[in-house]
């Protein structure tokens, strides 16, 4: 029996756009918060980046810690009327290195991931319990042309084989604000979900940065519907 869920793959996917706005050469801590809602559930995530030893050229060592929790309801079998509830809790502790140049910036992280997955009512599913294992994350902000930036966020964690890739090009419509399409592909314990939508990245409200996104999500189990995301970050 397999549940067509991929919440674990989103545990970090909506997090730091924050690093994209960092000024090089300054000791920096960035805190971030993400809320993701889709047709079948909701996910909340939070964390921080710490870069106390970054050089004046923007290159340097970065630490990241994240945690997330999500709740969704779905049918194990689309042909059956009964729904089950799934709860996922995850955490990651990562260390990475950031490179920066005229092409943009990219940070590659490696570390440890924990994920706990529960179903209610309890059903015989091999993809349940608490697992611990290595994880990789790539965050990139690429600038291939004037006024154009491309966000790339890729993750892989061995617990439940959680992986995701999001690509979001954007056109600068105002100072620091980019608007454009986004596409996300995520996998989790053999399942697959796709998302197509739009994003607005870089709105500022006082010291807080903001990213909004929304569109259509579909999973391999046959379900589909709208999704929406909100990311907030602040530099210290």
pLDDT in tens, 177-193: 999 999 999 998 667 89
Q: Please tell me the distance from the alpha carbon of residue 232 to that of residue 235, in angstroms, as a whole number.
A: 11
The mean per-residue pLDDT over the stretch 97-117 comes to: 96
Decide which of 159 and 26 is more confident: 159
Those residues with Cβ within 8 angstroms of residue 236's Cβ, 6 or more apart along the chain or in another chain: 28, 29, 30, 31
- Percent of the chain exceeding pLDDT 90 equals 65
Q: Please tell me the distance from the alpha carbon of residue 25 to that of residue 145, in angstroms, as a whole number.
A: 24
| Tokens representing residue 110 in the block | 């490696």
Q: Cα(first)–Cα(last) distance of the chain, in Å?
A: 46
Q: Please tell me the distance from the alpha carbon of residue 222 to that of residue 196, in angstroms, as a whole number.
A: 16
pLDDT of residue 5: 39
pTM of the entire predicted model:
0.85
3-class DSSP assignment, residue 97: strand
The mean per-residue pLDDT over the stretch 116-127 comes to: 77
Q: Please tell me the distance from the alpha carbon of residue 75 to that of residue 82, in angstroms, as a whole number.
A: 6
Q: Please tell me the distance from the alpha carbon of residue 117 to that of residue 89, in angstroms, as a whole number.
A: 7
| pLDDT class of 9 with cuts at 50, 70, 90 | very low
Specify the range with the lowest mean pLDDT, choosing from 50-64, 116-130, 148-162, 181-195.
116-130
| pLDDT class of 52 with cuts at 50, 70, 90 | confident
pLDDT tops 50 at residue 8: no
Q: Distance from CA of residue 148 to its chain's centroid? A: 21
pLDDT of residue 81: 54
Q: What is the mean pLDDT of the chain?
A: 85
pLDDT of residue 1: 36
Q: Please tell me the distance from the alpha carbon of residue 1 to that of residue 19, in angstroms, as a whole number.
A: 40
pLDDT of residue 55: 74
pLDDT tops 80 at residue 160: yes
Q: Please tell me the distance from the alpha carbon of residue 180 to that of residue 125, in angstroms, as a whole number.
A: 39
């Amino acid at each position: 029996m397999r549940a067509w869920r991929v919440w674990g793959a989103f545990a970090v996917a909506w997090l730091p756009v924050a690093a994209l706005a960092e000024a090089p050469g300054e000791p920096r801590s960035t805190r971030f918060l993400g809320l993701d809602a889709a047709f079948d559930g909701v996910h909340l995530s939070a964390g921080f980046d710490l870069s106390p030893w970054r050089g004046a050229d923007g290159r340097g060592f970065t630490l990241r810690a994240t945690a997330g929790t999500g709740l969704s309801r779905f049918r194990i079998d689309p042909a059956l009327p009964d729904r089950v509830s799934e709860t996922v809790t995850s955490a990651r502790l990562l260390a990475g290195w950031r490179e920066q140049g005229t092409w943009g910036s990219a940070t590659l992280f490696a570390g440890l991931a924990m994920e706990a997955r529960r179903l209610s009512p309890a059903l015989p599913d091999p993809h349940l319990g608490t697992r611990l294992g290595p994880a990789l994350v790539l965050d990139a902000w690429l600038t291939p042309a004037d006024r154009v930036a491309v966000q790339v966020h890729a993750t892989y964690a061995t617990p439940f084989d959680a992986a995701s890739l999001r690509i979001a090009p954007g056109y600068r419509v105002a100072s620091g604000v980019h608007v454009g399409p986004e596409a996300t592909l995520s996998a989790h314990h053999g399942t697959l979900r796709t998302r197509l939508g739009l994003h607005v990245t870089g709105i500022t409200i006082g010291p807080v940065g903001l990213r909004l996104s929304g569109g259509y999500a579909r999973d391999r189990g046959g379900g589909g519907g709208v999704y929406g995301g909100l990311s907030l970050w602040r530099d210290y």
